[in-house]
């Protein structure tokens, strides 16, 4: 079965993904800060029963029953968060067949419903999460208040509990001085910009996540529309920069991109960081209409599969850093 | 949790006192906390004069004058306003009611408002979007009337009527 990221047209879009997260809590239990392990286990059992009853699309993964590589892979795919990856509490997640919907149980909130689609499909993505939310609310008493909306462990998420985000590929903006200004302007609109793996992680492959920070005082629809507006303005800037370089210095630019492709497909070993930068160059080349040979799948899928966790998972065994660099180069060549 | 003084009402106030150099904490109901506060202001006045009226238990509870710090405590989960300040997170859904006064200024700072206008469990989004539209138009209508813009007000009134008819039709 095709996964959400098996999208052959994705290489031509600055929008890589659209994501939605809804934070929910169960009224009977205290929030995560003071939740006891036995209560966490109860919540896990309760949600497993609920999901069984309501849908057979989902597989449940108990986080304490799987290997660290399996967990790391799910983190790299954005199925689980850094917080979820790193603690040892009773916790787990439900994931559907095309991996477009993943529900984390016992993250910072009891229930975190997440959905993801390729490209600029934010409203479709929202309805995926919203449907699951409706299903859960039939069987679970949510912590909800008429004044403050959905009550969350942290007041930064209260109200809609919604985080909507776009993952954007912004190589030209990154190289220009404009990105820093843009980040400042965006924060004035109640939005934030982060790297590939969210808070505190370094940007890789010129991929940036832009998301709303405001969750209360605006409806879901308004929050998403605001995000769309801001995203389109950012993309306009990126496209302008791309146009300018073509007019000013096409040959040097094309030369650099093709050299990146050459290195990427001929090297014997390569680390994640270098590979991400070269893949970003190639993706930019596709986007600008250069005649670069295509890979068997879209570049974003390769970008995920060269991360340490997924690389080891697909290789079938644990690899040290040196072995990973060799396996990474081999994998990229194989995808040509 | 019940009040440690009367053992009848739920404890809603967290009292922190220094007694003979030792920190002690008590969970009290609102009434007992008020009584204690009054007691202490009396103690201030009479400077130990009331000593004779207090039982030993009460003395232990009341301690020295001038060292009472009144804190709120969540009756559902026991979280205190200090816990909230230290962790920046809440202990349970009831905490939002308990610490409402502390929360409002924070929400005003970090959010677009202090009232939820989005999804309600069990209600469709269409219904909510309808209610939000009506609420906004009615707000505009009141503003128009306040500003004596009667032509605009008439337009808004028609629009509200039309949307309501469409919705109910
Ligand atoms: Zn009492
Ligand atoms: Zn509480």
The string of pLDDT tens digits covering residues A115-133 is 999 999 999 999 999 999 9
**Residue B46: pLDDT over 60:** no
In whole angstroms, give the CA distance from residue A76 to residue A99: 13
Helix-strand-coil percent breakdown of chain B, rounded to 5? 55, 15, 35
Q: Which residue has the higher pLDDT, B67 or B169?
A: B169
In whole angstroms, give the CA distance from residue A328 to residue A323: 8
The answer on A121 and A55 residing in a single domain is yes
- Determine the average pLDDT of the residues in B17-40: 73
**In chain A, residues 65-124 whose CB comes closer than 8 Å to chain B:** none
In whole angstroms, give the CA distance from residue A216 to residue A190: 11
**Residue B138: pLDDT over 90:** no
* B92-129 confidence digits (pLDDT tens): 999 999 999 999 999 999 999 999 999 998 766 666 67
Residue of A24, A108, A140, A155 best to disrupt the B interface, most CBs of B under 10 A = A155
Q: Which of A142, A190, A219 sits opposite B132 (nearest CB)?
A: A219
Give domain status of residue A244, yes or no. Answer: no
| C-beta atoms of A145 and B97 within 8 A | yes
* B148-163 confidence digits (pLDDT tens): 899 999 999 999 898 8
- Determine the average pLDDT of the residues in A151-161: 97
The answer on A222 and A194 residing in a single domain is yes
The answer on A279 and A229 residing in a single domain is no
Tokens for B157, please give them.
């009134």
- Determine the average pLDDT of the residues in A224-228: 96
In whole angstroms, give the CA distance from residue A231 to residue A179: 13
Per the structure, how many domains does chain A have? Answer: 2
Q: Look at residue A195 in the predicted model and tell me its pLDDT.
A: 80
In whole angstroms, give the CA distance from residue A305 to residue A77: 9
Q: Look at residue B69 in the predicted model and tell me its pLDDT.
A: 54
Q: Look at residue B64 in the predicted model and tell me its pLDDT.
A: 46
Which range of residues forms the domain containing residue A298? 249-334
Q: Look at residue B49 in the predicted model and tell me its pLDDT.
A: 44
3-state secondary structure of A59: strand
The answer on A279 and A233 residing in a single domain is no
Q: Which of B113, B120, B129 sits opposite A216 (nearest CB)?
A: B113
* A67-94 confidence digits (pLDDT tens): 999 999 999 999 999 999 999 999 999 9
CA of A322 to the centre of ligand 2 (A): 50
Among A237, A268, A299, residue at a domain's last position:
A237
Interface pTM, i.e. ipTM = 0.90
* A41-58 confidence digits (pLDDT tens): 999 999 999 888 877 889
Which of A108-112, A199-203, A237-241, B7-11 shows the lowest per-residue confidence on average (mean pLDDT)? A199-203
Q: Look at residue B60 in the predicted model and tell me its pLDDT.
A: 53
Q: How confident is the model at residue A177 (pLDDT cuts 50, 70, 90)?
A: confident
> Could you tell me the CA-to-CA distances from A81 to A71, A109, A259, B89, B125 in Å, in that order?
10, 12, 35, 18, 28
From chain A, the residues in CB contact with B114 under 8 A are 147-148, 216-217
What is the percentage of chain A residues whose pLDDT exceeds 90?
Answer: 85
Among A181, A210, A237, residue at a domain's last position:
A237
Give domain status of residue A233, yes or no. Answer: yes
Give domain status of residue A77, yes or no. Answer: yes
Q: Look at residue B42 in the predicted model and tell me its pLDDT.
A: 56
From chain B, the residues in CB contact with A214 under 8 A are 110-112
């Amino acid at each position: 079965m095709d996964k959400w990221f098996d999208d052959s047209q994705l290489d031509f879009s600055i929008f890589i993904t659209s994501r939605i997260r809804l934070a929910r809590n169960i009224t009977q239990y205290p929030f995560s800060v003071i939740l006891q392990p036995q209560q966490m286990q109860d919540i896990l059992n309760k949600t497993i029963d609920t999901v069984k009853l309501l849908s057979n699309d989902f597989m449940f993964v108990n986080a304490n029953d799987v290997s660290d590589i399996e967990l790391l892979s799910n983190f790299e795919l954005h199925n689980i968060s850094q917080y979820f990856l790193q603690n040892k509490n009773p916790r787990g997640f439900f994931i559907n067949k095309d991996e477009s919907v993943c529900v984390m149980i016992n993250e910072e909130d009891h229930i975190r419903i997440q959905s993801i689609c390729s490209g600029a499909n934010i409203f479709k993505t929202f309805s995926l999460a919203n449907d699951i939310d409706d299903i859960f609310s039939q069987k679970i008493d949510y912590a909800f208040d008429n004044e403050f909306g959905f009550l969350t462990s942290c007041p930064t998420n209260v109200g809609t509990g919604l985080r909507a985000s776009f993952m954007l590929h912004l190589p030209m903006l990154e190289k220009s001085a404009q990105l820093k200004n843009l980040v400042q302007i965006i924060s004035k609109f109640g939005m934030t910009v982060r790297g590939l793996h969210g808070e505190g992680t370094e940007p890789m492959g010129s991929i940036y996540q832009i998301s709303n920070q405001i969750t209360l005082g605006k409806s879901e629809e308004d929050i998403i529309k605001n995000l769309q507006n801001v995203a389109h303005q950012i993309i306009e800037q990126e496209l302008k920069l791309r146009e300018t370089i073509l007019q000013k210095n096409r040959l040097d630019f094309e030369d650099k991109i093709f050299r990146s492709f050459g290195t990427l497909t001929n090297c014997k070993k390569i680390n994640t960081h270098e590979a991400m930068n070269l893949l970003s160059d190639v993706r930019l080349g596709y986007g600008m209409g250069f005649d670069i040979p295509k890979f068997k799948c879209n570049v974003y899928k390769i970008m995920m599969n060269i991360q340490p966790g997924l690389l080891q998972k697909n290789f079938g065994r644990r690899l040290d850093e040196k072995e990973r660099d060799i396996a990474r180069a081999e994998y990229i060549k194989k995808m040509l | 949790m019940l009040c440690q003084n009367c053992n009848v009402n739920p404890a809603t106030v967290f009292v922190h006192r220094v007694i003979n150099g030792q920190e002690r904490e008590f969970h009290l109901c609102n009434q007992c906390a008020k009584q204690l506060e009054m007691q202490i202001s009396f103690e201030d006045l009479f400077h130990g004069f009331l000593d004779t009226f207090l039982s030993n238990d009460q003395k232990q509870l009341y301690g020295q004058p001038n060292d009472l710090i009144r804190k709120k405590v969540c009756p559902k989960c026991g979280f205190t306003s200090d816990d909230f300040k230290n962790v920046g997170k809440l202990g349970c859904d009831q905490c939002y009611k308990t610490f409402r006064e502390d929360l409002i200024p924070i929400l005003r700072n970090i959010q677009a408002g202090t009232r939820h206008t989005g999804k309600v469990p069990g209600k469709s989004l269409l219904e909510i979007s309808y209610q939000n539209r009506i609420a906004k138009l009615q707000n505009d209508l009141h503003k128009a009337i306040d500003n004596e813009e009667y032509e605009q007000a008439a337009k808004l009134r028609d629009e509200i009527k039309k949307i309501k008819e469409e919705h109910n039709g």
